[in-house]
Structure 1
């Protein structure tokens, strides 16, 4: 791209918080053009329209210094004469798990260029007109520590059809020029290496329930970080010390109850007039005296999400109000005191204060800036704290809003309370929520998305604790459409309609939908067999991969939307066989490798404002780099990724091997959601074992590039490490490898099946020990830690496959994933049955089987079912020569398609009295080896 455009921004703050910015430019096109394209990028996110038509969103995740731009073909929407490009930029102004905002010194910016048949017809500069979007409220709650902010859109303040030509933008501002393409902080602009995501409208299937509810008595959300850690814009967790306080004025003695809907409140956190408030059922009881009462809440703890979300419950008509202790007429009733790091006396004075006067005298007391509060705490108002009133709602034509018809669901104002509708898409969706409706002005519509409702007990809802999966829309008069620009994942959603007092007109809801936005896979893989349960599991797993593929692989579409590097090693394999796509994995591996420019090892999730090393994830990245070459034969990829691989290998050897030659590192050293002994410091066994495989696998990459000496060195490192593992980490009495070494060099008393699986997978044991460990795979010894997640189970399945124990793979998949299907799952859970998620902070929360109901690391059957039945594995890079060893076990038949880099391997197999019969179709350019015999392109009969 030959850039003439310049980076531009709004007059004013360089990095405003939660800022929505409208930018537009009109230009002329002459008759007879053939192609019009728009190249653009932004910080943090953009939504693009061309002549009023929604084009798309971007950019993809980038590290500062190597920033990606998009190139959109808008020819079909362009016309002779006046045209308009319009962009809404949403700048977060904070660090998330999707941007490296702090280390990259991020700021707001947009660069855009329109070309017609290769000639620039519009390029961003000072002449582009812009204005902050007045309908988007900036003071909203964070969705979570991983994500940005939820939305509050007031349609009464909307600015009309600003995305169309001839819009009256006379009073809009001229832009401020930042610099030319390539300027800091974004640096080099790179073309997007993957296709655009889908934009597929999907409506819910049914309205599950309609009821009249009332919200809790009071809700508040506020951000502690600007006050208790004011100079920290990162997403790094840390411990803070602080107190918040409010004055409660009661006309007569009465009772309130207070809780925190996400963090919870500990027994010792809440004090009323200096005395501890009792805790009952997850909430603290406040027995108020007539007149002034001082409520203090200790908010000192370890944080990753810095917002607090308070809810108060009270009987209707309770005669109290909350008042700011510092300024009686202030709009916001809470104040914050702190930080108290190194100031225990100041902390105790604040925590134990008995009167408002003590708060006023405290030198570290301050009111919240409105920008650091949330105008609406929607999650707290729409979860279990919203209680039914018993009134029957009046809702007509409920079918209309869940069907693409020219009719509307009519929702009438209740006598008291609000109308809550619960929609079910009957599948997980991931994208942008859309509403189309007619309403009187000032109706509040609160959206709350979630993943699970108990099919037997419909009041038992698994709300997204730790995530505000919400937004608020306030109506103007008449027909209107709202399009959310923040992505959300969910299956169910409630719409709570809050009418203004005295309202009589209904809301006509024509449509609610999700503009589903995922990676545009082609379903090149297929698998069907005689077991209907396995067929359901395969499709469930593949749909999970689809939903967890965005501009990178992500862990889940709902809770985090984070590119976890270690998870993606397995996800790449699932995508190779499920869809035959290699571009997304290539993009992910290179993006992860770039993090080594700022950390000693590849980081755990990238690009991210949480700088974190999860050692096993760094090692799995290196293994995935080799596997990508093995599956694709992409030599250019090896050349591009190799410097990162070599740097990490060298760092591991030079900085992290102790005097015994074992890997010893201070980092996050987990592997599985299970009680393994994997301390944050010391020698952790599974990591040493992964490192053996890393050095073995990456030596093969060195050979591909002709680096024979380096390959020999890395192989020798692997040989040496294998020897010291067997010398120091094996326990003769337990006949197994310990989980770790303690600081004094002694072995941990904890032994896990996970560690033994990794030992086998990385070819660490001696032949005698290998035979012992193989006996543990089906029946771990008593006292050994069992596998705790589908992620770790994938490594077990891989180990069984390597040992040709394929019937056990089928049985394990039936047992673990079959239970999900039986429980009504449509996508794969993050955790297995029996590992019900506890709620340690809230006694009133019911436990559930899993947190995330759609988690990519759990989609192993998308890979293992076809690979197990075919017994397929590449013998040379790119599968140009591969082995086949068909297997049916207890299956009667199976057929399907295994994608290859060019074409696919079709297969159909059946079990007969004499053995397996069927055929395979091998594409041109490939050779299969079946029981020692080679087969070239074409159809071949199989008889075993």
Structure 2
């Protein structure tokens, strides 16, 4: 960390709004590098709120910052000397995107840019340029600030008009004389960025990846009209400052104007979790009148000539997702404000919508509403009788126009998924030139009166930035939509994820690189409004992830296990950004509990510990939200899952055990101790953890209420306390002993109150009203065994449950929970059962062409939006456990001490005949393992290669003679 005093720069911004919504702002500065200083190192330090893309003399040089707390904002440093021209003007140009709303990876601050160019050498540092009043700025004319939210977890989609801007704005020769000078808003150290911290991880990778084929070609006609509304921020303006759930109810109204009576379809393509029922001219349609797949809802209606008053009754809990609303009609129509005058001129120029309400609303903080929602207000009940726009004015207290900034006219998502006509065509071979890395172009056919839809397959899921080069006529619209799963002609649309981008072309040949990260396997490209065929010279992905080498390897005599290991590795890689993330598409959020399992996979596949340290250090920053630490950070959502904090404490120990970094253990110990002490305040008079919280472990139907004593939570609290005591065993023996004693006391309380003598098993919970759960689950028994809670006969009973799960118990419901189940099986020595379970569960994914691990095992039919929807996210790193278990237990490599200078090599042969692979070692080198089984002669041939100085404890399978070849590199 460098002190704030090292900076000579000031924070700069412009415009009257300190935290504008979805603002894209350009900054420029020219400076001279003296000819005498040519060849000397030149560094540029930079950070921004919320994100930036840096250009030096027109060359893209970096992007950032990494996700941070605003009070510990990270800055980046680049060596830019090779991009500079000595003795003449050089240009720094920066595109800054300010979100103006919090997300699951960003806490809202204010718009700001900070940058400094330094010339260094011989112990001296000269500032060549720094953000100050001499910099110029302009809003970027190409980006539409009214683009919709991607999701509640992420900021905004991208709507870019190439004809509306000068793409050369970042070049050195650009004339910025028409730009304004920036405003200096304060010095380094100002609120909210009170402390700057040096970036603690390498810059992420950026590698071009090309698709493998054109999956399909279709002629399509989209719905006639659609918009996206941000109803949460409109109804409750204070919700722009947080990402918590809001519960509300009210009405949304508009007017559909037609020249004659027509038939139309009203569509709520994605409600954003805020369901609505519909009335036309005062006639309410029952919800049963809607048809179509969930969450798409369509209603056929008869519209009268003239004005038709449409009102939606909305009631529910909304997290920040967008509300996609559309209309399809073969005849012309207008959608106008219900506040328009009789002549048809909108009295409100801001949008075509108005609302009544909310008649009540509550913010839900840490899943706890401050009070119940008053779900029936007299004015709400009376307003349901409104039959025309004039009736709205009877409710002046509740009536508000919807500001245009909350309404996006570019609903690319619904245009892509709601088509009134789609004709699939054979794909001509020439069209594949769009995905081949050569100099030939693919000509996309044009169909009069229709749009051309092309879906391309990248072969596997990636995460990064869409890039393309095309030749098109001015005004041609290119819509892009990323998907994860297509099978047998059916595609799984990404509801609650607006994974789209719109690019409006200028005339001629042009290229574009999106600054917004997306994840997908398939990319739909739709050509609209074109006057001539579009030529694609390139469509690619700038794949970006944490900078790691793929050191780990695994191969065996079982081809299915090999495939499963490969998808586990790739899943983990694309879920490593500036932190671990749950998934590259839907959320891109650092979920604290997920990351514990991801870290273990990473150790065995990539061997990196920098990303793990960064993740673990970020967590205590959430203490301003809760002393129990938030479950995803840094985030505007104040949310606690107790188990996720316990997994964080466990992961702190596992990081120390892998890396041997005692300084990290000493630094993190006070934060671990602090939060576990706060959890201890939740122990009741029985000595059990009793909490109102999101008491989650698995999505299966186990009994895990949000208020009461949840057994699996108490069990993991024991493990967290023990892990914490080991972190501090050398540096704070008294503190370690105190936590260990607390763990022992909690173990005693669990055995006293949560074991059922009748069923010989641990119950799932004790409800807040004192009821003891009648549910018995494998989840609870697995965790009890894994956390060493039971002893004697109870322990033997749990061992039997782990080996042979009783059919009447709730079974494991997710790959995440399977990680703990597989840990328990490994502890029990039942590697055979573990392999069979991996083959069954993950083999189902492989059968469905999975290239990454799914978030869930196939959903029950009643929980699907469509029979073919097997899971939500098709790439989820909490599911990548085989990448850890196959290395740790089939190759048999496990560290025996911090830093792994002592290593166990204990191959488990199971039903395999051979296995070979590599496990990275912390700090230096790797360990290569190859073994072959000679069952006839009961021999195991084992080859082990390690760096010099590693102490090995090698054990052959029981009943097998070992033939060992050991090689030490450096000897």
Shorter-chain TM-score tier: over 0.9
Please say if 1:678 is aligned against 2:704.
yes
Please say if 1:907 is aligned against 2:929.
yes
Matched with 1:272 is 280
Q: CA deviation at 1:794?
A: 0.5
Please say if 1:291 is aligned against 2:317.
no
Q: CA deviation at 1:745?
A: 2.3
Equivalence map 1:648-727=2 (5 Å): 648-653=675-680, 655-705=681-731, 707-727=732-752
Of 319, 335, 356, the residue aligned with 1:337 is 356
Equivalence map 1:320-719=2 (5 Å): 320-327=333-340, 328-330=344-346, 332-341=351-360, 344-363=377-396, 364-383=398-417, 385-388=418-421, 390=423, 397-454=430-487, 457-458=488-489, 460-500=490-530, 503=531, 505-653=532-680, 655-705=681-731, 707-719=732-744
Question: Which deviates more from structure 2 when the two are superposed, residues 796-805 or residues 773-782?
Answer: 773-782
Q: CA deviation at 1:509?
A: 1.5
- CA distance in 2 between counterparts of 1:195 and 1:227 reads 40
Matched with 1:211 is 218
Please say if 1:38 is aligned against 2:44.
yes
The secondary structure found in structure 2 opposite 1:162 is helix
Matched with 2:370 is none
- CA distance in 2 between counterparts of 1:280 and 1:182 reads 56
Question: Which deviates more from structure 2 when the two are superposed, residues 425-434 or residues 330-339?
Answer: 330-339
- CA distance in 2 between counterparts of 1:772 and 1:391 reads 58
Please say if 1:55 is aligned against 2:51.
no
- CA distance in 1 between counterparts of 2:76 and 2:273 reads 45
Please say if 1:879 is aligned against 2:900.
yes
- CA distance in 2 between counterparts of 1:643 and 1:499 reads 61
- Deviation by residue 1:458-512 (Cα, 9 ceiling, x = unmatched): 1x11011110000111111111112211110011111111125xx2x22221111
Q: CA deviation at 1:172?
A: 1.0
Unaligned 5+ segments in structure 2 are 361-373
Please say if 1:304 is aligned against 2:304.
no
Contact 2:222 2:421 in 1 (8 A): no
Contact 1:205 1:402 in 2 (8 A): yes
The secondary structure found in structure 1 opposite 2:729 is helix
Matched with 2:367 is none
Please say if 1:85 is aligned against 2:89.
no
Contact 1:924 1:938 in 2 (8 A): no
- CA distance in 2 between counterparts of 1:161 and 1:291 reads 48
Equivalence map 1:787-798=2 (5 Å): 787-798=812-823
Instruction: Provide runs of 4+ in structure 1 moved above 6 Å.
Output: 264-268, 391-396
The secondary structure found in structure 1 opposite 2:668 is helix
* 1:346–1:312 CA distance, 2 compared to 1 (3 A): same
TM-score, normalised to structure 2, is 0.92
Matched with 2:27 is 23
- Deviation by residue 1:681-705 (Cα, 9 ceiling, x = unmatched): 1100001000111111111111131
The secondary structure found in structure 1 opposite 2:170 is coil
- CA distance in 1 between counterparts of 2:955 and 2:321 reads 60
Equivalence map 1:87-166=2 (5 Å): 87-101=94-108, 106-117=109-120, 118-166=125-173
Contact 2:582 2:590 in 1 (8 A): yes
CA RMSD of aligned residues (A): 2.1
Q: CA deviation at 1:208?
A: 1.6
Question: Which deviates more from structure 2 when the two are superposed, residues 905-914 or residues 25-34?
Answer: 25-34
* 1:395–1:525 CA distance, 2 compared to 1 (3 A): closer
Contact 1:828 1:853 in 2 (8 A): yes
Of 234, 237, 250, the residue aligned with 1:242 is 250
- Deviation by residue 1:561-580 (Cα, 9 ceiling, x = unmatched): 00000000000000000111
Matched with 1:779 is 804
Equivalence map 1:793-808=2 (5 Å): 793-808=818-833
Question: Which deviates more from structure 2 when the two are superposed, residues 256-265 or residues 180-189?
Answer: 256-265
Contact 1:259 1:265 in 2 (8 A): no
Q: CA deviation at 1:838?
A: 3.0
Contact 2:392 2:399 in 1 (8 A): yes
Contact 1:389 1:417 in 2 (8 A): no
- Deviation by residue 1:229-283 (Cα, 9 ceiling, x = unmatched): 1122211012111110112234433322222222289997111222222323342
Q: CA deviation at 1:378?
A: 0.6
Matched with 2:762 is 737
Contact 1:19 1:92 in 2 (8 A): yes
* 1:186–1:439 CA distance, 2 compared to 1 (3 A): same
The secondary structure found in structure 2 opposite 1:22 is strand
Contact 1:26 1:84 in 2 (8 A): yes
Contact 2:907 2:955 in 1 (8 A): no
- Deviation by residue 1:412-444 (Cα, 9 ceiling, x = unmatched): 432111111111111111111112111111111
Q: CA deviation at 1:119?
A: 2.2
- CA distance in 2 between counterparts of 1:496 and 1:787 reads 41
Aligned residues: 920
Contact 2:250 2:359 in 1 (8 A): yes
TM-score, normalised to structure 1, is 0.94
Of 762, 776, 785, the residue aligned with 2:787 is 762
- Deviation by residue 1:787-809 (Cα, 9 ceiling, x = unmatched): 11100001001111111111222
Q: CA deviation at 1:836?
A: 5.5
The secondary structure found in structure 2 opposite 1:523 is coil
The secondary structure found in structure 2 opposite 1:888 is coil
* 1:779–1:836 CA distance, 2 compared to 1 (3 A): farther
Matched with 2:366 is none
Matched with 1:919 is 943
Question: Which deviates more from structure 2 when the two are superposed, residues 865-874 or residues 552-561?
Answer: 865-874
Contact 2:43 2:117 in 1 (8 A): yes
Question: Which deviates more from structure 2 when the two are superposed, residues 226-235 or residues 715-724?
Answer: 226-235
- CA distance in 2 between counterparts of 1:475 and 1:569 reads 45
The secondary structure found in structure 2 opposite 1:939 is strand
Contact 2:201 2:610 in 1 (8 A): yes
Please say if 1:262 is aligned against 2:270.
yes
- CA distance in 2 between counterparts of 1:742 and 1:789 reads 24
Q: CA deviation at 1:613?
A: 0.5
The secondary structure found in structure 1 opposite 2:751 is helix
- CA distance in 1 between counterparts of 2:275 and 2:135 reads 56
* 1:718–1:35 CA distance, 2 compared to 1 (3 A): same
Of 891, 906, 920, the residue aligned with 2:912 is 891
- Deviation by residue 1:518-546 (Cα, 9 ceiling, x = unmatched): 11111121111111111111111000000
- CA distance in 2 between counterparts of 1:23 and 1:734 reads 69
Please say if 1:226 is aligned against 2:228.
no
- CA distance in 2 between counterparts of 1:265 and 1:214 reads 27
* 1:704–1:526 CA distance, 2 compared to 1 (3 A): farther
Of 71, 90, 113, the residue aligned with 1:65 is 71
- CA distance in 1 between counterparts of 2:424 and 2:782 reads 58
- CA distance in 2 between counterparts of 1:704 and 1:734 reads 42
Contact 1:326 1:366 in 2 (8 A): no
